[in-house]
Each structure stands twice: as C-alpha cells, then as structure tokens.
Chains A and B, each alone.
Chain A
Amino acid sequence: MTTMDQKNLLEMFKTVAGRVDKRDFPNVTAESVITELGIDSLSMMQIVGEMETELGVMIPDEDLVELVTVGDLCKKVGQRVEAGA
C-alpha cells in the first residue's frame, strides 16, 4: 500500500463521512480519533459499509472493533483492497 493510496482512502473517508453524517470533515487526518469526530458507532458502521461497497471489499466483523483512528480504518480497507477481498 503506497502513501498515495492511503491519501486517497482518507479523501474517500471524508466524502463518505460527509454524506452519511451530512456535514463536512475538512480537518480530518489519519491520526484523528473516530469517536472524537462526533461520529457515533452506528454512523461509523455505515461509513465502513459504504467504503466496502464502493471498493468491493469486506472487512471481517472482528477487525471492526479494533478501529480507533481514521488511519486504522484506511489501513484495514487498504489491506483488503490489496488482498483483493
């Protein structure tokens, strides 16, 4: 996974999060803690689901509970894209 790919995934996160939560997330970085963004757990599930659908991948349920930062999510998604799953 290249840095560029992670940047793309971060931008994708901002777009999808904005769509789900109906507000902008201009200052989000890979280090941003998800719960500190004011995104609740259910909206987060929706964001993950939409990213999975758009990229045609599936993150295992057990991995979802380990996500703390936006970077964690982008990394998990990136790994699934690389693995083609």
Chain B
Amino acid sequence: MTRVDSKSPPPAASPGKLMRLEEKLYNEYIQFFEKAERERRWNVFEDIPWSTIKTDASEETALCAETFLSVEMYLPDYVAGGINVVRKYFGQSWFQANWGYEESKHSLTLMQYLLRSKKRTDEQMFDLQNKIFDKVWDLPFHTARQMTFYGCVQEMATFVIYVKHRERAAAEGDDCLRTIYDFIARDEIAHTRFYQGVIKVLLEEDRAGTLADMAHVFANFKMPGVDLVPDYDSRILKMREAGIDRGVFIQKVYLPILKFLGVSRHEMLAAQKQALAARADAKAEGETPKLIVAPHLNGTPVAQA
C-alpha cells in the first residue's frame, strides 16, 4: 500500500510497471479515438439546423449559452496546462490534443449560435473575448493523476449541465439549440469515459494512491469558470434556476463516477476524511487549502506548466 504524506517524496514506479501502464493508457486512447472517428464526428457548418434558429429566444437562454462559451474560451490555457502535465504519456497527451480540437468546436458553435440568433453582436463578442483573455486559467492540480481525475469530474459535470439545457431547449421547441447541446453533451460524456477508463487503470496499478488523489480532487474541486468568467456569480444563479445545484452534483456526478469506477461510497469516504480535514483546517485558518503531495504516475510531481 502506498503511504501518502506531505514530507517524503512519493516512490518511483519501476520501468516495467511504467511500460505496462503506458500500454494500457495507449489502448484507452485508441479505443476513444476510433469511436470518435467512426461514430462521433460532427460538422459545425453542416450538421446544425441553422435555418431553424430562433431569434426570439429569451435573454436567459442567451446568457446561459454565453456562459458556456466563456468557460470554453479559456481553451488556450486548458490545452497548454493540460498537455504539459501529461506529455510523457502518449495516450493521454494525444487525447489532450484531440480534446482541444473538440472543445474548440464547442466554443465556435456557441459563438455562431449567439451571433446568428442575433442575441449578441460581433462587437459584444470581441468585448467578451478581450475580458476573458485578460485572465489566465491556472492548473488546479499539479500531477497527471490528479489532473486526470479533475478532468473526469469536470467533464461529467459539464455533460450533466449540457443535458439539462438540451432538455430545456427541446421543451421550448428550439431545435437548433437542442442539436447544439446534443452534440456537445455527446462529446463531453465521451471525454468523461476516456478519463474514467484511465482512472480505472490507475486504480489497478495503485488503488490507495489513486483514491487519495480522487479524494483530494473532490475536496478541492471547482468548475473552471469560477473566479475567471466575467459576472460568474450572477450567471451561476441563472444556471441554478435551470436545475443545476449541489444536489445534482452528488446525484449525477459524484455517485455515478464512483459506481463506474467500482469504488464504494465508504471506500471513498475513508480516503476523503484526510482531504476534508485538511480543507476544514485551511478554512478555519482562513487559508487557501494546500495541495497534498500525492504519488505521480512516474513517482515525481509535475511542475506547473
């Protein structure tokens, strides 16, 4: 069993173990990529029913789409940070490149929606873009394993949010927006499945260490737009009105992820105890929670990109 503490460096993995691990991660990526190429590719210009776009959609609908777009627009930071933290691992770094391509389509599509529906002007889009690029998204975690699990939770949460909004668009008879959210949600759950596949492999290799990292990420998780997207708090209030809240997080994100990974709630809670205690200590002292040093895939923490 791997012991996790904040003083001694994590043990290095043997070369044989690393080769086996890399082979498994490569297989996860090839399965993901093959399915994406065969079944999931879609075209921004041809597959969205742009001719049915509603120009009388509510401002609330537009604000939600703009919020999604804003979060997606930190793509340069996500790609740069994300790919550097896993660059030693072929399967994961090639996944990040593919992920960046798919996410870039999401932001382009949402931008097209806002412009074609006339809910926003070119000038407003440039203004938003400038505000967004004024701030930089920093990696919330600093090892490949923690970032992989962060990706898993974040993509699953994003999937749930897009599904909610897809249902809402369908109920409002907005076929164009429903199709957009449908394609994006499909991509997000595919990303989630890749991350889950990788985490399953990591659990097989080092269950205690992976559980510790999962607990740490859960305890310190926040969506990437927090503190970055302009007017984030007021935007989130509108999102919550559409049925996105903390209860949904437990029901649709936390519990399903554990179930898929074959981790029981009590096994997770045991690992979480330490992470939550550290967070509560930091909160009581008015500090930002410190990162727990946890074993990295190759035994060394990765420097922030």
Say yes or no: A22-B280 contact (C-beta < 8 A), given A42-B218, A45-B265.
Answer: yes
Q: Mark A19-58, 1 if CB is under 8 A from B, else 0.
A: 0111100000000000100001111111001101100000
Q: Contact at B265–A35, with CB atoms within 8 Å?
A: no
Residues of chain B within 8 A (CB-CB) of A43 are 276, 280
Q: How far is the CA of A61 from the CA of B264 in the complex (A)?
A: 10
B interface, CB within 8 angstroms of A = 218-219, 246-247, 249-251, 254-255, 259, 265-266, 269, 272-273, 276-277, 280-281, 283-284
Q: Contact at B269–A41, with CB atoms within 8 Å?
A: no
Say yes or no: A41-B249 contact (C-beta < 8 A), given A21-B280, A49-B266.
Answer: yes
Q: Contact at B281–A22, with CB atoms within 8 Å?
A: yes
Complex A-B, nearest 6 residue pairs according to Cβ-Cβ distance, in ascending order: A49-B269, A65-B251, A22-B280, A41-B246, A41-B250, A61-B255
Report whether over half of chain A's contact residues are helix, strand or loop; otherwise say mixed.
helix
Q: Contact at A65–B250, with CB atoms within 8 Å?
A: yes
Q: How far is the CA of A50 from the CA of B266 in the complex (A)?
A: 9
Q: Is A64 in the interface zone, CB < 8 Å from B?
A: yes
Q: How far is the CA of A70 from the CA of B223 in the complex (A)?
A: 27
Give which listed residue, B254, B259, B277, B283, contacts A41 with CB less than 8 A: B254
Nearest-neighbor residue (CB-CB) of B218 within chain A = A42
Residues of chain A within 8 A (CB-CB) of B219 are 42
User: Could you tell me the distance in whole angstroms from the C-beta of B212 to the nearest C-beta in chain A?
Assistant: 15
Q: How far is the CA of A18 from the CA of B217 in the complex (A)?
A: 22
How many A residues face the partner with a CB closer than 8 A?
A: 19
User: Could you tell me the distance in whole angstroms from the C-beta of A14 to the nearest C-beta in chain B?
Assistant: 16
Q: Contact at A45–B246, with CB atoms within 8 Å?
A: no
Q: How far is the CA of A23 from the CA of B281 in the complex (A)?
A: 10
Give which listed residue, A21, A22, A40, A46, contacts B273 with CB less than 8 A: A46
Residues of chain B within 8 A (CB-CB) of A64 are 250-251, 255
Q: How far is the CA of A52 from the CA of B281 in the complex (A)?
A: 24
Q: Contact at B272–A52, with CB atoms within 8 Å?
A: no
Q: Contact at B247–A53, with CB atoms within 8 Å?
A: no
Q: Contact at A20–B284, with CB atoms within 8 Å?
A: no
User: Could you tell me the distance in whole angstroms from the C-beta of A32 to the nearest C-beta in chain B?
Assistant: 16
Q: How far is the CA of A21 from the CA of B218 in the complex (A)?
A: 15
Q: How far is the CA of A52 from the CA of B276 in the complex (A)?
A: 18
Residues of chain A within 8 A (CB-CB) of B281 are 22
Q: Contact at A46–B250, with CB atoms within 8 Å?
A: no
Say yes or no: A22-B250 contact (C-beta < 8 A), given A43-B276, A46-B272, A61-B265.
Answer: no
Q: How far is the CA of A44 from the CA of B218 in the complex (A)?
A: 13
Contacts A/B (CB < 8 Å), 7 sampled: A20-B276, A22-B281, A35-B246, A43-B280, A49-B266, A61-B255, A65-B251
Residues of chain B within 8 A (CB-CB) of A35 are 246-247
Q: Contact at A53–B284, with CB atoms within 8 Å?
A: no
Max chain B C-beta neighbours (<10 A), residue from A52, A61, A64: A61
Residues of chain B within 8 A (CB-CB) of A41 are 246-247, 249-250, 254
User: Could you tell me the distance in whole angstroms from the C-beta of A60 to the nearest C-beta in chain B?
Assistant: 10
Say yes or no: A22-B284 contact (C-beta < 8 A), given A41-B247, A41-B254.
Answer: yes
Say yes or no: A46-B276 contact (C-beta < 8 A), given A41-B254, A61-B265.
Answer: yes
Residues of chain A within 8 A (CB-CB) of B272 are 42, 45-46
Say yes or no: A42-B266 contact (C-beta < 8 A), given A23-B284, A61-B255, A65-B251.
Answer: no
Q: How far is the CA of A22 from the CA of B289 in the complex (A)?
A: 15
Residues of chain A within 8 A (CB-CB) of B247 are 35, 41, 65
User: Could you tell me the distance in whole angstroms from the C-beta of A57 to the nearest C-beta in chain B?
Assistant: 12
